[in-house]
Every structure is written in C-alpha cells, then in structure tokens.
C-alpha cells in the first residue's frame, strides 16, 4: 500500500509540483503569443523560445537543489 501512495504522490507531483514555475511558463507563453500576434518581427519567436528554455533550466536546477538539501530522491 505504501508503494501505491508513493507512486500516486510522484504522479501528482509531476503536475502540481511547483505552481509558481508552471505559472511563469504559462505567463511567458501568453506574453509571447500576445506580442507575436501584434508585432511581426523576425527573431522574436526565438527570444520567446530562449526565455522558455532558460525558465526550464532554472526550474530544474532549483528543484534539484531543493531535493539535494532535503536528501529525498
């Protein structure tokens, strides 16, 4: 039974592990969509993609540091 609880907690954690990071990703996408729909500049989509990539790297690094400090896997 503990295995099922742990597995369920991990699955739920994949989706709602860090709401702040999820909101940042959604905000970057929404801002990018809004700007790209109004301003048609070459390379602007690349800037949005780089912003999303940087946010992903930051979120992953932050989570890894938190797990390393807590000692959990």
Residue 58 lies in a domain: yes
pTM greater than 0.85 (yes/no): no
Residue 37 CA to residue 34 CA, distance in Å, equals 5
Residue 7 lies in a domain: no
Encoded tokens for 59: 């979120």
Residue 29 lies in a domain: yes
What are φ and ψ of residue 72, in 5° steps?
-95, 160
pLDDT tens string 14-58:
655 677 777 888 888 888 888 888 888 778 888 888 888 888 888
Residue 70 CA to residue 19 CA, distance in Å, equals 19
Asked if 55 contacts 28 with a C-beta cutoff of 8 angstroms, the reply is yes
Residue 37 lies in a domain: yes
Q: Give me the number of domains the chain comprises.
A: 1
Give the burial string for 13-38 (b: 16+ CB within 10 Å, else e): eeeeeeeebeebeeebeeebeeeeee
Domain range for 28 is 18-70
Residue 12 lies in a domain: no
> Residue 1: which pLDDT band, with cuts at 50, 70 and 90?
confident
């Amino acid at each position: 039974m503990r295995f099922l609880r742990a597995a369920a907690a991990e699955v739920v954690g994949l989706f709602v592990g860090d709401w702040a990071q999820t909101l940042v990703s959604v905000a970057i996408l929404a801002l990018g969509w809004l700007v790209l729909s109004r301003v048609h500049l070459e390379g602007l989509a690349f800037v949005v993609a780089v912003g999303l990539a940087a946010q992903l790297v930051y979120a992953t690094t932050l989570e890894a540091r938190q797990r390393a400090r807590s000692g959990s896997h």
